[in-house]
Every structure is written in structure tokens, then in C-alpha cells.
Amino acid sequence: MFVEDCECGCNQKNYFLLDEHYEGGKVISYHCAQIKQHRARLENYPVQASYLDSQAFSRTLMGAKGSPREDTLYSVADEYMDHGVSVVPNQKDWKVGYDRISELLLVDPHHVHPFTGTRGASHLLVADTCQHFIKEIETHKWKVVKNALEPRRDEASDGNDHHMDALNGFLASRPADVAHYVPTTPVFNLDAELAGFASQSDHMSL
């Protein structure tokens, strides 16, 4: 997903879904290799952050018996980072994400479509190569939940919702704020570092 400030004068942001990786039943090293290949194809779009489901950061005993990791706590996120893909947890809030998706799908009468030049367009644009996402969003369904506390509550149906769940967590994490974040370069100051140590010590230390 690529986020940019729109230049048509609508004072909004455009969200472009440019590529997708949609495979199951593979090990994490395979997914990481695919992610790196996709990034290489999109080299003109620098990666600001890679979001992973926040539940993937829960640590459990993942080390196989007899391995160096035996009896060690690791998370799925740790495995991604071990294979060179740094990840941060997304925000798990379906209502917030749903509201943001709905806003992006609305036709903004002041927005000029960045490719057709037509006035009146949404701010979420999806490349036609993202066929799995297009199929998911076109077939996404809602269900009605009834219980003693709530006579009626609408919520998303489970199943065939991998992309929708990912988009929800991504947008709820407010990625546009990340797009404008430029990390500062730390400046090493030897005098300041030395000043942090006591001039005298009552014991030997290294």
C-alpha cells in the first residue's frame, strides 16, 4: 500500500494498493522471501513500515525440542524479523478500520481521479493485478448477530476475509502518519557520554 498527498487540491490523501502476496500453507521464510521480491519490484516506493497482525507478537514456546531455541519464548513476529523483514503490530479495532475503509470508498466530489482526470472519485485505488483483493472485497459479506444483550448487531462474516482484515488493521494504524515520519540521525557526543560517568568510583569497574 502506497500513501501520498493528493495534488488535485482536495486536501486529502490517496491510498494505492499496488501489489499482493496471497498464499497459505507456507513457512515464514518463504513468505519473507516473497515479500522481499515484491519490494524489489516496487523499488521506487520506499518501505516506511511493515504491519503484522498484533496477535503475531504474542510470545509462546516455539523452540523445537533439542534445538537452540528449546524452552525459549518467541513470537511469529520474531520469526519474520529473523528472516530480515522488520514488522510492527497493527491496530486491532474492526470498527475504526471499517469507518476508515468506508471513508476512503466514498466518492469525493472535489477529488480528481489521478489517472483518468475525472472529478468525483474515491481515495482508495486498487491495481487490477491485485485479483485476490478485488475478489474478496466484491464478495465480502456481513452477518446479523443476536443475543440477550443486543437484539441486533451487524458484523463482518468470517472466511474469505484475509485481505479485508489486513486492510482494516493497516488503516486503523493510521499509516499516513508514518509516511511523513523521518527518523532523526543520532549524533554521538563523546564529552556528553563521558559526563554521564562519575569522576570517582569506590570500586573497580569496566
- The tens digit of pLDDT for each residue in 36-54 reads 999 998 877 778 889 999 8
Global confidence as pTM = 0.69
Q: What is the pLDDT of residue 205?
A: 41
Distance, CA of 14 to CA of 114 (rounded, Å): 9
Q: Which of 5, 16, 10, 46 is nearest to 167 (CA)?
A: 16
CA nearest 51: which of 184, 165, 132?
165
Identify the CA nearest to 90 among candidates 135, 55, 114.
55
How many Å separate Cα 135 from the centre of its chain? 20
Segment 129-160, tens digit of pLDDT: 899 988 888 887 665 556 656 665 555 555 56
Residue 199 burial (10 A CB sphere; 0-12, 13-18, 19+): exposed
Distance (Å, whole) CA 135 – CA 2: 20
What are the structural domains, with CATH classification, of the chain? Answer: 2-181 (3.30.420)
